[in-house]
A and B are shown apart, each in its own frame.
Chain A
Amino acid sequence: MQLDVSRAAALCASLLIVAILLPMCGGSETARTDQSRDGVGRIIRMVAHTYMPSDDMEVSEQNPFPRGAIRVLAKHWERQHPGVRIEFVRIPDQTAYVSWVRTQCTGGTVAEIIFWWPPGDELGLKEWVIPLDDYLDRPNRYVSGNERWRDLFLPVCLNPPWKARDGHDYFVPVDVFMTAVFYNKDIFAEAGIERLPETWDEFIDVQERIRQAGYEPFWCPEMRSHWPRSLFGQLLFDKEVFEQLDVLETNGRIEGEEAIRGASLGITGLHEPRFREYLRLMKEWSQYWKGGPSLGGSVESINLFLLGKLAMVWQGAWSLSQMEADPYVEFEFGLFAFPPMTKDTSPVASGRKPLINASPGTCYYVTQSAARNGLADLCADWLMFLTTPENCEELTQETTAIKIPPAVVGTKVAAVLEPIMTYDMSLLEDLIIPWGDGSPEALDNCNRLFELFLMDELDFEETVSRMEKWWEIGIEEAIRINQRLSDEQGRWDMAKW
C-alpha cells in the first residue's frame, strides 16, 4: 500500500512536470514569429468579420449566401508574397466579440488584422492598434497612378469625422453603411408611379398616390433615434450653420461641447425657423405612416414590407440580406435615396441631397501583434491589395453573397445598389436637428412631446413652448454637471465659447 501511494505521487509529479514543460516546448508567439522572420511560414491572422469565407460554397437553405472572395483574393496576394500566408480567424461568438477582442488585445494574442467599429478611439488610446496615417498617405502600389491610398476611399468613409480623437487614422474601410428607402415595385406600378421621386414634394405626392391606390405608403421612422433628425438636418440646414458650430475642435463633427455651446449661444434652438419647419414637415409626412407616429421600434416594418403590406420602408442598406434571403417575398423591390427638398416645399430648404447615417462599415485595423511580429508593412500591403476598385468589387459584390455598398471609389456595384450610390459622398457635415441636447431627461421629454404633437394631442405653440423648457433644463444641466469635473475629466473652458 505504501508503495502504491509513492507510485501515485510520482506519477502525479511527472504529469505536472510534463504539463509545465509542454507549453514551453511550443514556444511563445514572439518566438514563433522570430523564427518566421528568417524563413518561410509567416502568417497574418485576420478577423475578416463580414467577409469571413464560408466553409462550404454550395448554396443551400442553410447556407444561402456563401462567401469565398476574400479567400481567392488572399491566394492571389500570397502568390505575390512567397512565404506569407493569410489565415482567417473564426470569431467565437458574434455577441461576445467586443469582450473577445479586448481580452485578446490585453493578452497580446490578438490577430494581426481585426475588424472594429470606427473611429477606433478605444483601441488607439490603449495602443492596441497602430496608426495607419503614414500608409494611407503613401500610394497604393496596386492601383496605377494613385498618389495617396486614402484618395481611393469615399470621402464620407475616411475623413475628419472618422479620425480618432488623437487625430490618427486607425482603420481601412472596405464598405459603407448607409440607409435607403426600400420600395415595392409592384405597388408603385399599381399606383401608376413611373419614376422615382426627385424632390420632397414628389416624395409626398408618391405617398398620396399609393394611399389612393389602397396601400399603406410608409412606416414611422425610428423616432427615438437620430434618423429623422439627421434626414431633416440635411434637408434644412446648410453648411454655414455647421461651420458656426464646429469651431472648438474643427474636426468635421459636432462634439457635445460644441452642441451645448451652439444651443446656449442661440445658434441652434427652438426659435430657429428650421426647427419649426422640422415640426411642420414631419407632421405633414406622418399622415402617411402606417399606424401613425409612435416612439416604438421598426422591426415590424421590415416584416410588413416583406409581406407586401407596406409600399416603402426606411432601412439600412444592410437589410438587403434579410430581404433577399426571404423565400416568401413575392414582389420585386428596389432602393432609392431620399430626394432633396426645394424652396417650393420650405423657404429654409437646403436643396442638398441628403446622405443619411452614412459611415464606414467594415473597417480593418492593424494591431500591435502585427507591429510586434514585424508584419505591419505586410498587413498594410494586403489591405492595399484588398481595396483596389477591382478587388473591392470582387469582395463586396460577390455573386453568391449579399451586395454591400463599397467604400472604394470606382468600384462597380450590383444594379440593386446603383440608385443609392448616387449620393454625394463628399458630404461631410452631418448636422442633426438639435433636440434637448445635454440631458437624457430633456431628450426623452422632447421625444414624448413631439409624439403628442404628431398625434394632434398638442398644438404647435404648446409643443414648442414645453419643449423650450426642457431644452433650457437640458443645457443648464449639461453645463452644471460638466463644470463640476476637473480639467483632466474634460471640464469645458466656457471662456472660449
Chain B
Amino acid sequence: MVDAASSTKADIVRGIRACRFYVYLLPTFVLLGVFCFYPPILGFLGSFYEWNGANVKIWNGLDNFAKMAHDKVLIASIGNLIKLATFTLITSITVPLLAAELIFNLRSLRAKYWYRVLLVAPMVVPGMVTLLLWQFIYDPNVGLLNAVLGVFNVPAQRWLNDPHLALYCLMFMAFPFVGGITVLIYLAGLNSIGQEVFDAAKIDGARFWQRFFRIDVPLVMGQIKLLLILSIIGVLKGYGAQLILTDGGPGYSTMVPGLHMYHQAFEFDHLGYACALGLALFLVIITLTYLSMKIRKPETE
C-alpha cells in the first residue's frame, strides 16, 4: 500500500518535472501564436470579406480573388515583379558566390579576415539610409549620377522619374550585389569542403574554373538552395524601396504586388482585398519555395 502510494507520488513528481519544460516554453509559444500565427489566420479569414478596416465586414466569398484577375494594376505589377525577381535572383546568387570564391582562394589568412570584415561592415548601415543615399544619387537635379554624366557631357537623365528607367534604377540599387551575409554563407560552404578534395583536384590537374564548376558549385548547392529560397521570399514580399523612392511610379512602372497590397490596405481602405492579395502572395512564395527545394539534392546532403 505504502509502495503504491510512493510510486504514484513519484509518477506525479516525474510528470510535473516533465511538464515543467513545456511550461517554460509556453510564453514563447503564446507570443508566437499571438504575433506570428494569429495575424495570418485573421488575414486568411479577412480575404473572404469586404472590409474597410472600420465598418462591419461583409462576406463576399471569393469575390476578392476574382477581382485579382481584372486588376490591371496587379497585372502590371506582376510584370514588374518578374523582371525584378529574375534580375535579383541571378545577381544575388551568382555575384556573392564569385566574391566568396575570390576570398576563399586568398592565401593570406589576414587578408581573408579583413575582406570578410569589409563585407559585413556595411550591414550596420540602416536600410533607410542606403535608400536615401540612392535617392540622392539618382536625383535628376542635384544627384551624383547626373553630375558625373555632366563631366562627360552626357545629357542628364530623370532616373527614378523616367518610367523606362525607374525599374532598372531600383534593380541597380543592390550594386555591387555582394550582400555580406550571402558571402559569409557561401564561405562557410566552401570552408566545409575537405582540403583533400581540393588536393585531389589539383593532382588531377583541374584548373580554377573546372574546380569551380565541378567541385565547388555542386558542393555548395545546399547554400545556393538556401539563398535561392531567401531571395525568392525577399523579392516577392519586398516593396520598401518602391514605397520610399517611387511609390510605384512614374505611373505604374515600379509597382509590385507587395506595394499594391500595401496601398489597398492602408491608402484605399480595402483591407479584405489586401488580405486576399497577401494570401495569394503567400501561396506563390510557398509554391516557389517548394519547387526550389526540389532542385537536385547537393552532394553534401
Residues of chain A at the chain B interface (Cβ within 8 Å): 290-292, 294-296, 300, 303-304, 309, 439-441, 444-445, 448-449, 451-452, 455, 457, 481, 484-485
Contacts and interface: CB of A to CB of B under 8 A. Distances in A.
A445 B263 CA distance: 11
A303 B139 CA distance: 13
A455 B253 CA distance: 12
B60 interface: no
Contact of A445 (B73, B139, B141, B158): B73
8 contacts: A290-B141, A291-B140, A296-B161, A441-B268, A445-B73, A455-B163, A457-B250, A484-B55
Nearest to A439: B268
Contacts of A484: 55-56
Contacts of B141: 290-291, 300, 304, 309
Contacts of B161: 291-292, 294, 296
A306 to B, nearest CB: 12
Interface in B120-151: 139-142
A295 B55 contact: no
B249 A444 contact: no
B140 A448 contact: no
Contacts of B289: none
B225 interface: no
Contacts of B247: 295
Contacts of A296: 161
A449 B268 contact: no
Contacts of A292: 158, 161
A292 B164 CA distance: 14
B52 interface: yes
B101 interface: no
B93 to A, nearest CB: 33
Contacts of B63: none
Given A290-B141, A291-B158, A457-B163, A448 B249 contact: yes
B251 interface: yes
Nearest to B248: A448
Nearest to B269: A440
B267 interface: yes
A441 to B, nearest CB: 4
A471 to B, nearest CB: 15
Nearest to A480: B50
Nearest to B72: A466
Nearest to A216: B141
Contacts of B269: 440
B252 interface: yes
Contact of A444 (B142, B163, B250, B268): B268
A300 B140 CA distance: 11
A448 B267 CA distance: 15
B268 A452 contact: no
B158 A449 contact: no
Contact of A448 (B158, B252, B270): B252
Given A295-B247, A457-B251, A452 B163 contact: yes
A440 B268 contact: yes
Contacts of A444: 263, 267-268
A295 B249 contact: yes
Nearest to B139: A300
A302 to B, nearest CB: 12
Nearest to A466: B72
Contacts of B250: 294-295, 448, 451-452, 455, 457
Given A294-B161, A300-B139, 6 more contacts: A291-B141, A300-B142, A445-B73, A448-B248, A452-B250, A457-B251
A296 B244 CA distance: 11
Interface string B244-267: 000111111000000000011001
A295 to B, nearest CB: 6
Given A291-B161, A292-B158, A300-B141, A441 B270 contact: yes
- List the 5 closest pairs (A to B, CB-CB), nearest first: A441-B268, A452-B251, A291-B140, A294-B161, A440-B268
A493 to B, nearest CB: 19
A291 B146 CA distance: 12
A294 B55 CA distance: 35
Nearest to A219: B141
Q: Which of B161, B252, B267 has the most CB of A within 10 A?
A: B161
Contacts of A485: 55
A440 B251 contact: no
A338 to B, nearest CB: 24
Contacts of A445: 73
